[in-house]
A = this chain, B = another copy of it.
């Protein structure tokens, strides 16, 4: 087994199966050809051409969001979009630019819109041993049920900032007080693009490390995590190496942690491929 296979799995997509989604001059998504076909009939909202889909609904942020919403409602009814999540992601040309419209989280994959999340590595030291707090996802989670996860993780919704999301999720997922969560240190980001059942994930994860006080034990409050356990970092790496026990993208977050903390060293023949593979250029 290897670490690199997780990076490959999170970057498995075939460009020829997708066409760009445009809003004016900005590419805002990558739509699988079968999904593009399903948009042909919405001629007031989308113009579907062989080499791209143009979002032509007129008007401002609210008007475009509403027009897209009507389409998403039909896609949900037809089962092309799994279900409403009642949580909106902002869609813009690039991170930090003005949002062009908002999109229900459930439809992000269908349109292949870039999504942003935040993941927190909660670590502590017991003597010479580096430990990580690891959660187990609930069995009824839509994505990656039962898989192991970081202490805190979540998608960044429309009108929520990175650190606000981190603090909210830290509270809901782990009962981690804001006063502690605020000590988390920004340590980088990773990016990957993978085909999924209903379309494409084009994800950017902002990464944080937090030294969790020895006296604190995380407790879930939102039902998304069923248990937390404190594992040695070397046991975590062993499982990432040998199993698929962790959620697909959490493997990448942990590999990045391991690279930054000397748990994987240049003696590993995969080292340079790991270092360069965690951050696909953002086009």
State the A residues within 8 Å of B (CB): 95-96, 162, 185-189, 191, 204, 206, 259-262, 264-266, 269, 271-273, 275-277, 279-282
Contact = CB atoms under 8 A, between A and B. Distances in A.
Contacts of A273: 282
Contacts of A264: 186
A219 to B, nearest CB: 26
6 residue pairs, one from A and one from B, having the closest CB atoms? A185-B262, A186-B265, A276-B279, A189-B275, A186-B262, A162-B266
8 contacts: A95-B271, A95-B272, A186-B265, A187-B262, A188-B275, A204-B272, A206-B266, A276-B282
Contacts of A276: 189, 191, 279-282
Nearest to A269: B96
Contacts of A269: 96
A277 B261 CA distance: 21
Nearest to A94: B272
A206 B162 CA distance: 30
A107 to B, nearest CB: 23
A259 B162 CA distance: 16
Contacts of A281: 276-277, 281
Nearest to A276: B279
B186 A266 contact: yes
A185 B282 contact: no
Nearest to A208: B262
Contact of A260 (B204, B260, B265, B280): B260
Contacts of A187: 259-262
A272 B282 CA distance: 8
A282 B277 CA distance: 9
Most B Cβ at <10 Å: residue of A162, A186, A191, A265: A186
Given A95-B272, A187-B262, A276-B280, 17 more contacts: A95-B271, A96-B269, A185-B261, A185-B262, A186-B264, A186-B265, A187-B260, A187-B261, A189-B266, A189-B272, A189-B276, A204-B272, A206-B266, A260-B260, A276-B279, A277-B281, A279-B279
A185 B188 CA distance: 18
Nearest to A273: B282
Contacts of A259: 186-188
B279 A275 contact: yes
Contacts of A189: 266, 271-272, 275-276
